[in-house]
Amino acid sequence: GAVVSQHPSRVICKSGTSVKIECRSLDFQATTMFWYRQFPKQSLMLMATSNEGSKATYEQGVEKDKFLINHASLTLSTLTVTSAHPEDSSFYICSAKGGPSGGLETQYFGPGTRLLVL
Amino acid sequence: GQNIDQPTEMTATEGAIVQINCTYQTSGFNGLFWYQQHAGEAPTFLSYNVLDGLEEKGRFSSFLSRSKGYSYLLLKELQMKDSASYLCAVTDSNYQLIWGAGTKLIIKP
């Protein structure tokens, strides 16, 4: 149980284009979903927290107009990187909370999306 | 401020036992998590402690002392595949998850 999928796993795009990343909880309803970014050899950095049907809460320093988050259902959240630039190249990881074990506060992570902007 | 401390890097030998410590100072406490993250991959959930004591799960055990703001992850019978970063994270009174920087564990044959 507690499987989270993420799609695509890897994407290469040109500078100025937009990229959408999907995060799905496959076998549980996620009360909350989170989006993280991780640069090589650095810690996870929380970008935003999203609850189904409401606006996402962004961490300080994260541009909400650049990183659009939509949480349309209890099993799906999307992150759109708009007008991507090379400095947006990173490993984007989603997580979902509300799975069956470890308490309702346990976050289960998707496999991540590696974004490369040329 | 909120702070979680864990060693940056540890080295251990295959077949041995290693203990990774984590100390925390947070505004409230609603649980402590350990995650494993292999290089280039997303974290995977290992354990959750909310009460004092030892939780054992196969070769991995996690201990919590709330009064001391202290936890450890114990890995027994180390295997080469255990080489990874181990992340300690604490949920505070607002149910925000505070992450440690992670401990990179290197296993040598």
CB contact under 8 A, A102 and B102: no
Cα separation, B55 vs B34, whole angstroms: 12
Query: Which position has the higher pLDDT, B24 or A1?
Result: B24
B97 interfaces chain A, CB cutoff of 8 Å: yes
Residue numbers in B near A43 (CB within 8 A): 99, 101-102
The pLDDT tens digits of the residues spanning A54-100 come to 889 999 999 999 999 998 888 999 999 999 999 999 999 999 987 66
C-alpha distance from B40 to closest chain A C-alpha (Å): 8
| A41 pLDDT above the threshold of 70 | yes
Backbone angles phi, psi at A87, to 5 degrees: -70, -10
Q: What is the rounded average pLDDT for all residues in chain A?
A: 91
The pLDDT of B89-98, averaged and rounded, is 89
Cα separation, B73 vs A107, whole angstroms: 18
Cβ(B37)–Cβ(B100) below 8 Å: no
Q: What is the pLDDT, as a whole number, of residue A9?
A: 96
The pLDDT tens digits of the residues spanning B27-75 come to 999 999 999 999 999 999 999 999 999 999 999 999 999 999 999 999 9
Nearest by CB to residue A102, choosing from B48, B87, B99, is B48
Nearest by CB to residue A108, choosing from B45, B95, B99, is B45
